[in-house]
Amino acid sequence: MAGFTRSPVNYAPSAGKFTAFKAGFVVMATMVVMALAKTAVAGEPAGSAGAAGAAGAAAPAGTTPGTGTPAAGATPGAIVNLALGKPYTVVATWPDPLFAKQQLAYPDTDGRELTDGKKASSSYADSGWQVFTRQGARRIDVDLGEECTVTSVMGRFLQSRSVGVYVPRWVRFSLSEDGREWVPVGQVATQVGPWNVSIKPEEFRIDGLRHVARYVRLEFPVDVLVMMDEVEVEGVVGVEAGAQRLNEYEAPPVLTAGSHDRPGYLAAGSAAAAGARHIVLLPFGYPPEPERGEWTAQDYLPYVAYVSEDGKPLDWMFDTILLCPQSATPSGHVLSSNSPGKAADRADWEWYLNEAFRPGYQLDALEEAAGQAKEALNAPGYRVKVILTLVNAPPIQRQFGDVNGDGQPESFDYRQVGREQALAHRLAAEKWLFNEFWRRWQERGYQHLELIGFYWHPESIGFADSPDDELFVQEVAKMVHERGLKFFWIPYFGAAGSYDWYRYGFDVALLQPNYMFSESEEVRLRITADIAQALGMGVEIEKHWNEGLPELRKWFDYLNGGVKYGYINAVNGYYQGFKDFGRAATSDPGTRRLYYELVYQYIRGTYEVRQLGF
């Protein structure tokens, strides 16, 4: 089906499903190459050129290989690599079976590859690299075997952007004497950056320590693929005189990988969500097939109101309508895309604005449908909540067009104009778009609609696209908040920035499970629910554009999960194929109408867990 879909062929409203597929393809292709490289060196003796990699390193001078302890004749009190050959554990913040399966293509064969003293080359195919795939952050705990005096800790990672391998944005270091009580001793931000096109390793190091510890911890986010080859802990075996005990140490402030002050789902109808409960995404504008992107009042009515099979309003349906673009433009550019040749310019944005306020369609048609529903349901004071969409100013764009009045096209590319100018130009363009939306909305003076906020079109934070994307999104959030509106976001499962979404200024984040569109098992819904509860998020419910038995089974799983895991009481988003719910509403009794009936029951809170009878 062409149009608004989340398939790898048809671009999604914010490219999330396409991005997720593309990233997954890169992940799998990369890991196949790495697995072959791993096989090629399997069985070679430790310390051989093949086993060590092109940049393999021997044990540090003065230590016994595989132990990290001073070798015979070594100077007592010498600084050595305390981690050499020591055991460690690796824990993912949010384990997911599908992503864990991808990681199995490149196993840590002996459980010591991160502490074997061997540094890999700059090639992602080097078998010395260990691979971590999404699943939130990673926590690596190294057991030094006894109390030691730790002076520095280092973790080494690879940046290889072209294959989706990114250095972590930061690494946090902690120490412990007993493996239970941990004290953070520092956090180091990347100097290379996931946006860097160079292929190079980066060492994250904390120096200047003199602390007593037996256990050492490194934590870092995994946005797509992270490759790590070594952990080094320098120091002295045993407790040196004057070494500081951890209970005497005043720990520095550090970032957190997840929020611990937002327990529970984002409640439906909460003030944080401007009262929104059930938000349905309705895309508009599709130049390849214009009629598919046109929405009339008749199209909108089954979304605003629950209607009978002959289209008569019987009750309210979705309280909030999120209007978003289908992404394609008449020029062939793609809104929010950061791909070469696809990045949208000002003319594309003007088309998008004009399409949103196209007389008689889109917003005008929604106003008409809301008025019809209010009259039929005798609810004169009711207003349908509306969320509009801000598309991304793509960092790759060098010829956007003039928005500041100097007659020169704005460049968003920091490599061309520098970081400060690129950020300023992106913000100027985004402000122009926002102000145009606001001005046109005010001029229309809709009587049956209430604008409650804006939705951020990208489904992940673009750390790999720009060194300032975090700041950029935060500044866009300020624009929205200055008008007293809410800022909404719907990241895909495992998306960069989704685990600390509140840092970027969003008021509402709904997590996509992506269960409908992947090979993941039903447990993905429980994992999504766990993450959403822990981070104060809502959940998106996804309907496939195909309506076969496998898709119907998954559809039941989503609704059943809402009851079983409690997200039926959270703010819910609803993704569908092209006008699917609306077409189902006026279908003959049967499977198609069933989709509509079940959504209505779910919205009313009367849905009960059920299984397919066939």
Q: Distance between CA 322 and CA 320 in Å, rounded?
A: 7
pLDDT at position 340 is 85
The CATH number corresponding to 80-237 among 3.40.190.10, 3.40.50.150, 3.10.450.230, 2.60.120.1190 equals 2.60.120.1190
- Kindly give the parts of the chain with pLDDT less than 50: 1-30, 32-33, 35-68, 70-73, 255-260
Structural domain boundaries of the chain? Answer: 80-237, 271-387+424-604
pLDDT at position 51 is 30
pLDDT at position 47 is 31
Token readout for 141 is 């705990």
Whole-model pTM: value is 0.84
- For strand 137-159 and strand 200-206, is the pairing parallel, antiparallel, or unpaired? antiparallel
- Name the residue among 581, 584, 490, 478 with its Cα closest to residue 538: 490
pLDDT at position 588 is 66
pLDDT at position 590 is 65
Asked whether this chain's domains 80-237 and 271-387+424-604 adopt the same fold, the reply is: no
| Amino acid identity, position 611 | Q
Q: How far is CA 233 from the centre of its chain?
A: 32
pLDDT at position 548 is 78
| Distances 15 to 3, 59, 281, 405, 428 between C-alpha atoms, Å | 12, 47, 14, 31, 23
pLDDT at position 213 is 95
pLDDT at position 520 is 83
Residue range 271-387+424-604, CATH number: 3.20.20
Identify the H or E element spanning 511.
strand 508-511
pLDDT at position 270 is 96
